[in-house]
Structure 1
Amino acid sequence: MRTIDLRGHDLSRAELLTLVPRAAVSADIAVERVRPLVADVAARGETALREQARDFDGVQDHALRVPADAIAASLNDCPPEIEAALLELIARLRRGSAAQVPAEQVTRIGDGAEIRQRWQPVSRVGLYAPGGKAAYPSSVIMNAVAAQTAGVPSLALASPAQADHAGLPHPAVLWAAALSGVDEVYAIGGAGAIAAFAHGVPSIGLEPVDVVTGPGNVFVAAAKRVVNGIVGIDSEAGTTEILIIADASADAGIVAADLISQAEHDEAAAAVLVTDSETLAADVRDELEARSARTRHHERVRTALGGPQSAVILVDDLETATRVSNAYAPEHLEIQTRDDEGVLARISDAGAVFLGAFTPVSLGDYLAGSNHVLPTGGTARFASGLGAHTYLRPQQIVHYDRASLEEAQAPLLALAESEGLPAHGEAVSARFAADGAAATTTESEAR
């Protein structure tokens, strides 16, 4: 891993934003590559999807919509210990997601005047599960359980067709779909899947969705950016990244193991250590060398650790470390210091934070009860991780009775006049003028 030495420099936030390591292929560049793919699916539907499956996945003549019986039958080959683990993940995630659904609130402005705030789920969502260098049943569950907890009535799942599995998504993806109760599954991957969700594909029964969520590589993230506005998206959850803030008290072996755990995802995965200890930095480098040689995906790990997106960053103190971290806005932030809570108090920008030596990111990937679909590429500065809240929209329901509207009439008329919109005020005064006219007519008839 390369070293970025920031010691002795008092850098502004703008300077830090330019100095933190990033992947060589950004979403901005990827957008131009995927825009034609998205447009092609919008224009030609199934034909475009089949051509993309042939070119990118090496699969032809497969069923784009996975038969429901194939989803259910997939569990016949699921090892019992894996099924038990997935069910445990589902149970824990349901508990964690339930806390993200706010209760309806009623605000009383006065007698007869109230605003109800409710959180309404979207009608239909498209869930994406990657299928590149590994199978991600956990991603299926992270998406599906959050949406179900929010109360979304219609869920569709897409994952790339696998040449080794007769054009179906990876069996583990189907296991997770079956166990989480998702029966609308498509063997579609990459930018094409995102486009299909946004525009629909009538020939295979795929109706457009309201929101697209789920992780993927930089091209999936770019496709989500392209369709944003046609549909909602969760965030641009691209290639994984981990940043660890550690001081001399941290265990170099644990730090190295955690960096490697995320580097094994992809050659473009980002692994960053920020420390004020030169000794720890040197020890972590030694541990990375030894441990990466022993891990199964050692070539992938070495490529990720040696890429421009990964680095050891040396700083003068932990306060500077938090400034670096906030500028980077990591998907996953681990804090391993003598004063974890003190460091956490200075953190504002991160997808999820893992506090202490016994809270590795891999726990969040599987069984913490938190959601592992998180914003990447610095978007955690303004975006949040996936949760039940992703599928909910706050709605205000306003109710005033006659007396409460009459009480608001004078200031409302004044504001309408000040903005040059007299009809706004007339919409209120008309209600009382009509009452007056009715009363006058009745009195005349009585005489």
Structure 2
Amino acid sequence: MLRRLDLTSTGSADLRRALPRARVDVHSALAAVTPLVEDIAKRGYPAVREATLKFDGVDVAEPRVTPQRLADALDQLDRAVRDALVESIRRARIVHEAQRRETVDVQVVPGGTVTERWIAVARVGLYVPGGLAVYPSSVVMNVVPAQVAGVESIAVFSPAQKEFGGRPHPTILAACALLGVDEVYAVGGAQAVGLAAYGDAELGIEPVDVITGPGNVYVAAAKRLVRGVVGIDAEAGPTEIAVLADATADPAHVAADLISQAEHDTLAASVLVTDSPELADAVDAEVERQVALTKHTERVRIALSGEQSATVIVRDLEQGLAVVDAYAAEHLEIITADARRWAERVGNAGCIFVGAHAPVSLGDYCAGSNHVLPTGCTARHASGLSVQSFLKGVHLVEYTADALAEVAPHVIALAEAEDLPAHGAAVAIRQNR
């Protein structure tokens, strides 16, 4: 099912081109999304309502979910799911509380200080997809870091579901209620991004400052369009897993983890990187056995047999490390002897799962880490969602007259070198009074 790539003789310069990757054309989606987002900027919710009827097949006159609906969803939530969400929230808070940034005062010279303050953005729009699955875990992963950062105004957007009377899935609503989020809108897709960015004065929906959360290619395209009007976390693509494994790995574990990501979407990427052809053969056999037993068999088969998925054979783990660094996976598992040592040498990954007992699905729900992660090679330069995603670093510069006088010749010299004499004059004038 998984095609096999032999990269044992491939040089490091060719790795990026040789590795499997899902083809997601955000640029093409822009053509469909641009008129919609522009219409929302002009007309507000009426444009959103029309799009929701067109794409979701439901007419939502009032998009905000009432407090009673949120409370009812929580009351009716399965007890086991509620307990699991409570534990997921607890663990996420432990990790994200440790990411808090403190004010730092630096004395550059006597009389000259620079203070760095970390200020939370005022309002955020958090997107929770509806698609092929239900994602209360994404509510947790978006809301917790925003709350820990100190964001005072949080709005959650999730698609209207026809089977639930034009409201988001009840489990999504229950997760919001557990977290104390009472501003929830039954709006999904590109129209949710547009509404978050531009708001609607008549309905009292205030524009946000930052939009976070994963979605399909149209959500990604809409994020690209509004970037600059608001901040965004990323243009998320299909989910990815790469597994770096050697002969010590249990093939049943590896196969299960590859299948777990393929379950998300037919475009999901599952990549095994190994120096053991014997392990690759055993994983192939396990994949065939386990896929036949899983619920979403057809979806998984399409994803695993797609061009974005493969087993990659490497000379040794050193080359394997180079391969996974070039791939820069959203999720990277290291299942090798001395796994921690190899994991600490990885440069590019959204999140690294170390050893036989840390599968990606643990991170999806209850590790305490955040599962909103960079996809499509962007882990080379981007990080997963965190408290920092909702903070702005602001410098306060304070200098006394003596401290300014001491540095004035340097400022004036640099201003003259850049042919900006007024810059130097703004300092010089303070020396002549």
Q: Specify the TM-score bucket, using the shorter chain as the normaliser.
A: over 0.9
Once residues 259 and 8 of structure 2 are traced to their aligned partners in structure 1, the CA distance between those partners, rounded to angstroms, is 29
Q: Which runs of 5+ in 2 are unaligned?
A: none
RMSD: 1.5
Once residues 31 and 274 of structure 2 are traced to their aligned partners in structure 1, the CA distance between those partners, rounded to angstroms, is 37
2:277 is the alignment partner of 1:274: no
Query: 1:92–1:368: 8 Å Cα contact kept in structure 2?
Result: yes
Query: Could you say which residue in structure 1 is the equivalent of 2:348?
Result: 349
Query: Could you say which residue in structure 2 is the equivalent of 1:156?
Result: 155
Relative distance call for 1:28 and 1:380 in structure 2 (3 A) is farther
Deviation at 1:147, TM superposition (A): 0.4
Q: Which amino acid aligns with 1:417?
A: E
Query: 2:2–2:284: 8 Å Cα contact kept in structure 1?
Result: no
2:207 is the alignment partner of 1:222: no
Question: Comparing 422-431 with 290-299, which one deviates more in the overlay?
Answer: 422-431
Query: Could you say which residue in structure 2 is the equivalent of 1:411?
Result: 410
Q: Residue 204 of structure 1: SS of its match in structure 2?
A: coil
Q: Residue 119 of structure 1: SS of its match in structure 2?
A: strand
Question: Comparing 274-283 with 199-208, which one deviates more in the overlay?
Answer: 199-208
Deviation at 1:31, TM superposition (A): 3.1
Query: Could you say which residue in structure 2 is the equivalent of 1:170?
Result: 169
Q: Which amino acid aligns with 2:229?
A: I
Query: 1:62–1:167: 8 Å Cα contact kept in structure 2?
Result: no
Relative distance call for 1:19 and 1:32 in structure 2 (3 A) is farther
2:11 is the alignment partner of 1:11: yes
2:232 is the alignment partner of 1:233: yes
Residue by residue over 1:42-82, the C-alpha shift from the partner in whole angstroms, topping out at 9 and shown as x without a partner, is 23322221222122212124431111221122111112222
Relative distance call for 1:131 and 1:188 in structure 2 (3 A) is same
Q: Which amino acid aligns with 2:94?
A: R
Query: Could you say which residue in structure 1 is the equivalent of 2:210?
Result: 211
Query: 2:110–2:403: 8 Å Cα contact kept in structure 1?
Result: yes
Percent identity at matched positions?
A: 52
Task: Map residues 50-61 of structure 1 onto 2, 5 A cutoff.
Answer: 50-61=49-60
Query: Could you say which residue in structure 1 is the equivalent of 2:102?
Result: 103
Query: Could you say which residue in structure 2 is the equivalent of 1:244?
Result: 243
Deviation at 1:269, TM superposition (A): 1.2
Q: Which amino acid aligns with 1:289?
A: E
Q: Residue 245 of structure 1: SS of its match in structure 2?
A: strand
Q: Residue 265 of structure 1: SS of its match in structure 2?
A: coil
Query: Could you say which residue in structure 1 is the equivalent of 2:34?
Result: 35
Once residues 325 and 232 of structure 2 are traced to their aligned partners in structure 1, the CA distance between those partners, rounded to angstroms, is 23
Once residues 277 and 36 of structure 1 are traced to their aligned partners in structure 2, the CA distance between those partners, rounded to angstroms, is 51
Query: Could you say which residue in structure 2 is the equivalent of 1:441?
Result: none
Query: 1:236–1:379: 8 Å Cα contact kept in structure 2?
Result: no
Task: Map residues 283-432 of structure 1 onto 2, 5 A cutoff.
Answer: 283-432=282-431
Deviation at 1:388, TM superposition (A): 0.5
Deviation at 1:403, TM superposition (A): 1.5
Q: Which amino acid aligns with 1:195?
A: G
Once residues 24 and 105 of structure 1 are traced to their aligned partners in structure 2, the CA distance between those partners, rounded to angstroms, is 44
Q: Residue 432 of structure 2: SS of its match in structure 1?
A: helix
Q: Which amino acid aligns with 1:310?
A: S
Once residues 182 and 199 of structure 2 are traced to their aligned partners in structure 1, the CA distance between those partners, rounded to angstroms, is 17
Query: Could you say which residue in structure 1 is the equivalent of 2:75?
Result: 76
Query: Could you say which residue in structure 2 is the equivalent of 1:260?
Result: 259
Once residues 206 and 375 of structure 1 are traced to their aligned partners in structure 2, the CA distance between those partners, rounded to angstroms, is 29
Q: Which amino acid aligns with 1:376?
A: T
Deviation at 1:378, TM superposition (A): 1.4
Deviation at 1:223, TM superposition (A): 1.9
Residue by residue over 1:342-393, the C-alpha shift from the partner in whole angstroms, topping out at 9 and shown as x without a partner, is 3223311111110000000011001111100011111111211001010111
Question: Comparing 131-140 with 32-41, which one deviates more in the overlay?
Answer: 32-41
Query: 1:200–1:207: 8 Å Cα contact kept in structure 2?
Result: yes
Residue by residue over 1:313-351, the C-alpha shift from the partner in whole angstroms, topping out at 9 and shown as x without a partner, is 111111221222122211100000113133223311111
Residue by residue over 1:219-243, the C-alpha shift from the partner in whole angstroms, topping out at 9 and shown as x without a partner, is 2222212221221111122321111
Deviation at 1:299, TM superposition (A): 1.7
Once residues 285 and 31 of structure 1 are traced to their aligned partners in structure 2, the CA distance between those partners, rounded to angstroms, is 38
Task: Map residues 181-192 of structure 1 onto 2, 5 A cutoff.
Answer: 181-192=180-191
Relative distance call for 1:62 and 1:321 in structure 2 (3 A) is farther
Once residues 394 and 60 of structure 2 are traced to their aligned partners in structure 1, the CA distance between those partners, rounded to angstroms, is 45
Query: 1:304–1:310: 8 Å Cα contact kept in structure 2?
Result: yes
Query: 2:157–2:187: 8 Å Cα contact kept in structure 1?
Result: yes
Q: Which amino acid aligns with 2:122?
A: S
Once residues 144 and 247 of structure 1 are traced to their aligned partners in structure 2, the CA distance between those partners, rounded to angstroms, is 37
Query: 1:3–1:314: 8 Å Cα contact kept in structure 2?
Result: no
Question: Comparing 174-183 with 301-310, which one deviates more in the overlay?
Answer: 301-310
Give the structure with higher Rg (CA): 1
Query: 1:147–1:388: 8 Å Cα contact kept in structure 2?
Result: yes
2:118 is the alignment partner of 1:119: yes
TM-score normalised according to structure 1 size: 0.93
Once residues 264 and 78 of structure 2 are traced to their aligned partners in structure 1, the CA distance between those partners, rounded to angstroms, is 23
Relative distance call for 1:39 and 1:4 in structure 2 (3 A) is farther
Once residues 334 and 122 of structure 1 are traced to their aligned partners in structure 2, the CA distance between those partners, rounded to angstroms, is 33
Runs ≥4 residues deviating over 4 A:
none
Residue by residue over 1:391-426, the C-alpha shift from the partner in whole angstroms, topping out at 9 and shown as x without a partner, is 111111111112111111222222222222222222
Q: Which amino acid aligns with 2:182?
A: D
Deviation at 1:113, TM superposition (A): 0.9
Query: 1:62–1:166: 8 Å Cα contact kept in structure 2?
Result: no
Q: Which amino acid aligns with 2:375?
A: T
Q: Which runs of 5+ in 1 are unaligned?
A: 435-447
Residue by residue over 1:423-442, the C-alpha shift from the partner in whole angstroms, topping out at 9 and shown as x without a partner, is 222222222322xxxxxxxx
Once residues 106 and 71 of structure 1 are traced to their aligned partners in structure 2, the CA distance between those partners, rounded to angstroms, is 43
Q: Which amino acid aligns with 1:230?
A: V
